[in-house]
Structure 1
């Protein structure tokens, strides 16, 4: 347990990467969008996708975390299992705190009619549908999903090196291209989008969490056999 706590402490010391930079990027995006909304200032309002920046950043953190900390942690005699669990606790804490802050900002934005200029940045239609607890889960699960999506890619690189990544991306491209061709050939795109559209974002987040668990499990198995 002490080693797991040591991993959590190790990650928390990098405050710039885990806590400062993601919010700096997000608020810079918000500032730009606020200026645009102020300039337009019409009844239709202005909806921005700038909120995606913090989710994308979590994906990037997932990619770079292993490269920055794995070898150092193992060199301190921290077991791979403890490193994985400590990292999992760290990202769970970051995701939970980020979720609460975003929902509070969304509530403030909604309560001020879009900061007085009908700007929709933190509070977005569809994404903020459902009860408060559902919204908490939606944000939290999306944060975890994107982190572990990057984390499993980094784990693959740690285990098999660049050649492993080349094989993975080439195989992914071929599967994606073949799937896209078949969907186009059989004219199934509209059916796919209709099927997706019949579910709420909360229901989608439940399926996404299943993928997150899968990514986490694969990452753990790869790191167990990763070399330093």
Structure 2
């Protein structure tokens, strides 16, 4: 009875310690504000301004002959790729620091995932608000659209926000995974994994081409709509969280 009681007490203490350290692991990701806050905000604003400049230029050179010409750019993805690189930085720099502070790998992974989710949610909200502003002003009066792209807003701004958040979260998990895998494997092993993945994708593309399946693939994506794609990305991200934890469990500082 005494042994059972002691084991139960230890388990309760471990759970309490786990719960108490998760918020600290979450805040650890924002110890350097520029890493996951200011740099993405700067890229978000800068890409938007550059996109508007391109739209204004197109408007000026086409207005006299053709009238106002809308311009649609993919500048919004700059922030997403930035978040992917910053997630890789978390794996390569913040992870060793967390181990030095005696954070367990499980606590660190939970804190990282919550931080990534918070940043992704902010990006999704920002994308939805930016799209709303572009629609309300007709592309700032010059037909310049960065976020309010027709395919993205067909299901509404809420669906756009969910899709942008899910995509950002998936890319961050992807960036974290490759940086973690690089720490876990030797360089030649990492390249073996990369080559194997490229071969799998190449074979898949060849099979789809052989059986004229690209039209079916395109129809499937169109049928999912933005909200459906957000759900698939969310599922992929959850698998990414599990894969990342599996990789860092044996990673060393």
Q: TM-score range by the shorter chain?
A: over 0.9
Q: Match for residue 24 of structure 2? A: 6
Q: Match for residue 105 of structure 2? A: 80
Offset, 1:132: 4.2
Offset, 1:89: 1.2
Moved more, 6-15 or 142-151: 6-15
Q: Encode CA deviations 1:198-226: one digit per residue, 9 max, x unaligned.
A: 22121112112111111111111111122
Q: Match for residue 203 of structure 1? A: 228
The alignment's TM-score, normalised by the length of structure 1, stands at 0.92
Moved more, 17-26 or 143-152: 17-26
Q: Match for residue 205 of structure 2? A: 180
Out of 114, 122, 125, the position equivalent to 1:100 is: 125
Q: Match for residue 41 of structure 2? A: 23
The answer to whether the 8 Å contact 2:58/2:69 transfers is: no
Out of 146, 150, 154, the position equivalent to 1:121 is: 146
Summarize the Cα distance change of 1:161–1:56 in structure 2 as closer, same or farther, 3 Å threshold: same
Q: Match for residue 225 of structure 1? A: 250
The alignment's TM-score, normalised by the length of structure 2, stands at 0.84
Distance in 2 (CA, whole Å) between partners of 1:132 and 1:36 is 24
Distance in 1 (CA, whole Å) between partners of 2:157 and 2:213 is 35
Distance in 2 (CA, whole Å) between partners of 1:184 and 1:130 is 30
Offset, 1:158: 2.5
Q: For 2:74, what is the secondary structure of its paired residue?
A: coil
Offset, 1:163: 3.2
The answer to whether the 8 Å contact 1:156/1:164 transfers is: no
Q: Match for residue 50 of structure 2? A: 32
Equivalent pairs, count: 228
Distance in 2 (CA, whole Å) between partners of 1:82 and 1:144 is 19
Stretches (4+) displaced over 3 A = none
Report the aligned-residue RMSD. 1.7
Offset, 1:181: 2.0
Offset, 1:62: 2.2
Q: For 1:199, what is the secondary structure of its paired residue?
A: helix
Gaps of 5+ in 2: 1-18
Gaps of 5+ in 1: none
Q: Which has the larger radius of gyration?
A: 2
